[in-house]
Amino acid sequence: MTFDITRRRLLTVTAAGLVVPALRLPAQADVPLPPEAEKFGAVVKAVDKAPKPLRLAILSFQGSSFWEACEKGIKSATDYLKPLGSTVDNIQLGTALTAEAIVAGLDAALAKQYNGISLVPIFDGTVAKVNEAVAAGVPVVAWVADSAQRSNRTVGIGTLARQAGAKAGAFIAKQLDGKGKIAVITGYLGAAQHNDRMNGALDLLKEKFPQIKIIGPFECKDDDATAYSQATDAMTSNPDLNIIYVTAGGSEASAKAVRDAKATGKVGVVGYDDLPEKQQYKEGGEILALLDQAPSRQTFDSLTILHNIVAFQTKYPADIAIDAPIAYGKLAKQ
């Protein structure tokens, strides 16, 4: 996600990692968060019940444990906001993450005249349509992954991708004591966040650890079967491979490839999203580390932000950065 650092002096950071305005919210009582939302880290509370019924839309995808985690946050926010006057419609766009799918979903949402829209505008091809929505008076909240070209979206929430990549790169270098070989599997080469995660790590490694050899990147398009094949091929073609760095979807599949190749302890996976489905591979030693971006939290908070903006004109900073903590696997050097 791209953030405007010139606004940093106007922001404060909570213990939970959410960047919020220095000014307090309006004086209405905040509505307590549901226990399940607190458990997955949500921090944005609804100000109050909306003065009139509102309709909010969130555009999401399917096909992986990541999107299932997003669904968890959407469901929790839907239940939370319903008695507060905001109905949430979850518009699912299929399994192929493309600019065309996002634009089509946004077009459909605009035609249905929702009061606010939440989405993942990860490609530059979404910018014009996002700008059209905002120009029409519809607040748009971006979550998880923004476009590289800055749109006029109302609020963006997510991790700082390049910094997270640099953190991953430093972790990789530590595991290898500064020398070895890694393979890189990315999601979409046209996706700004995936590129920033990749380049944040690789730029650091190339500059400071030139004895670490890099192969790839291989584009899996967030498809587990493709990532599994790419990880398997990388290990077969490179018997001296040490680490597979997965910048987006595919870390779980890559870890399974390591296990199936009986390479546990020889090859480790570094990826993103500390989800329940991946715990067996952290505990088994195939996954060395996962940088967590809290997808359930992001979808929940994005919808609550929309509710507060539309119902109460609550002001938020344009860029809300959340931390990307490292969850370590069994065999990681910490």
Q: What is the pLDDT of residue 19?
A: 40
The residue among 217, 237, 231 whose CA lies nearest residue 269 is 231
The residue among 199, 200, 195 whose CA lies nearest residue 149 is 195
Least confident of 18-27, 145-154, 222-231: 18-27
Burial of 101 (0-12, 13-18, 19+ CB in 10 A): middle
Report CA 128 to chain centroid distance, whole Å. 22
pLDDT for residue 10 is more than 60: no
Q: How long a stretch of residues is the chain? A: 334
Least confident of 2-6, 200-204, 261-265, 284-288: 2-6
d(CA 145, CA 188): 12
- Average pLDDT estimate for 295-301: 97
Tokens of residue 154, six digits: 């109302």
Q: What is the pLDDT of residue 17?
A: 38
d(CA 179, CA 166): 17
CB within 8 Å of 233: residues ≥ 6 apart: none
266: left (phi over 0), alpha (psi -120 to 50) or beta: alpha
The residue among 30 and 138 whose pLDDT is bigger is: 138
Confidence of residue 28 (pLDDT cuts 50, 70, 90): low
Which letter does DSSP use for residue 28 in this model?
A: S
Confidence of residue 159 (pLDDT cuts 50, 70, 90): very high
Q: Is 330 helix (H, G, I), strand (E, B) or coil?
A: coil
Domains, the chain, ordered by start: 5-159+294-322 (3.40.50.2300), 161-293 (3.40.50.2300)
Q: How does the average pLDDT of the chain come out, rounded?
A: 91
The residue among 11 and 239 whose pLDDT is bigger is: 239
d(CA 15, CA 320): 14
Confidence of residue 27 (pLDDT cuts 50, 70, 90): very low
The residue among 12 and 194 whose pLDDT is bigger is: 194
Q: What is the pLDDT of residue 226?
A: 96
- Average pLDDT estimate for 94-117: 96
For the chain, how far is it from start to end, CA to CA, in angstroms?
A: 27
- Average pLDDT estimate for 142-160: 95
DSSP characters over 121-166:
--SGGGHHHHHHHHHTT--EEEES---SS----SEEEEE-HHHHHH
CB 214 within 8 A of CB 185: no
Whether cis (ω within 30° of 0) applies to the bond prior to 83 is no
Q: What is the pLDDT of residue 197?
A: 96
Measured over the CA atoms of residue 255, residue 123, residue 66 and residue 272, the dihedral's sign is positive
Confidence of residue 166 (pLDDT cuts 50, 70, 90): very high
The residue whose two tokens read 């490179």 is 238
Cα distances (Å, whole numbers) of residue 304 to 128, 202, 260: 25, 36, 42
The residue among 317, 310, 290 whose CA lies nearest residue 87 is 310
Mind listing the pLDDT tens digit for each residue in 225-284?
Answer: 999 999 999 999 999 999 999 999 999 999 999 999 999 999 999 999 999 999 999 999
Mind listing the pLDDT tens digit for each residue in 300-328?
Answer: 999 999 999 999 999 999 999 999 999 99
The residue whose two tokens read 């002096």 is 9
CB within 8 Å of 123: residues ≥ 6 apart: 98, 99, 102, 147, 188, 190, 191, 192
CB 218 within 8 A of CB 253: no
Tokens of residue 334, six digits: 């910490």
d(CA 94, CA 72): 17
Confidence of residue 63 (pLDDT cuts 50, 70, 90): confident
Q: Which amino acid is at 322?
A: I
